[in-house]
Amino acid sequence: MDNLFLLILLPLISALILALLKTNAAKSIALILSIVSLALTIPFLCQFDPNGGMQFEKNWEWISALHIHFHLGVDGISLPLILLTNGLMPFIIATTFSKDYKGNFYALMAFMQAGLLLVFMALDAFTFYVGWEIALIPIYFICALWGEGDRIQVNLKFFIYTFLGSLLMLIGILYLYQQVPNHDFEWTSFIALELGITHNVGYSGHFYRLCD
């Protein structure tokens, strides 16, 4: 079993199941599903080669017109983050057993988990951005519906902060996309770009000439 997509698919299926549960049984089911997700992570940890670079890669064409691929993979940095995400979920869910939460709360948690996993696995910048947004949306609703204190003010600050950050990141991704000769969102294409000081000075000089 080396298909990273399964690690993302299980939380998505869990979210659908939990969203339909309106009883306290959702707590136990959410805990069991989170433990299953953690168990699916163990084979990747056991098979991972510390000297092997990017591993377990899966690449599917997504939006061919824009050269967007659903490209996944893990390396020595992303694998611990995946393990940490799936490893913390059972503990987080266990701490909520004293609360009167129903399935919709745990569905949002599972949806957030899927988004975080996609962020850590994505080797395509557009796919990474989708995962980033998927992870943020459930957090907003969790804070709005189950947060404590001044939830309106907290959520407003959270929305402004994440919206501006996401917008700037999207602009940066689109800028790099335009610089790639083949116009794709592949991570390897982005890091191969040479955007040195000469490139930046050229844009600055052009800006100053316009101002003059």
For 162-209, the pLDDT digits (tens) are 999 999 999 999 999 999 988 899 998 998 888 765 544 444 444 334
For 55-112, the pLDDT digits (tens) are 999 999 999 888 999 999 999 999 999 999 999 999 999 999 988 899 999 999 999 9
Per-residue pLDDT band for 16 (boundaries 50, 70, 90) equals very high
The pLDDT score that the predictor gives to residue 158 is: 86
Contact 7, 86 (CB under 8 A): yes
Q: What is the pTM of this model?
A: 0.87
Contact 41, 29 (CB under 8 A): no
Contact 44, 112 (CB under 8 A): no
The pLDDT score that the predictor gives to residue 210 is: 39
CA 41, CA 30: separation in Å to the nearest integer? 17
What dihedral do alpha carbons 125, 130, 131, 132 form, nearest 10°? 90
Structure tokens at 156: 């407003």
- Find where tokens 């316009």 sit: 210
Q: In whole angstroms, how far apart are CA 111 and each of 139, 156, 184, 198, 207?
A: 10, 21, 27, 43, 44
Q: What ranges do the domains of the chain cover?
A: 5-149
For 110-139, the pLDDT digits (tens) are 999 999 999 999 999 999 999 999 999 999
Residues in the chain: 212
CA 169, CA 171: separation in Å to the nearest integer? 5
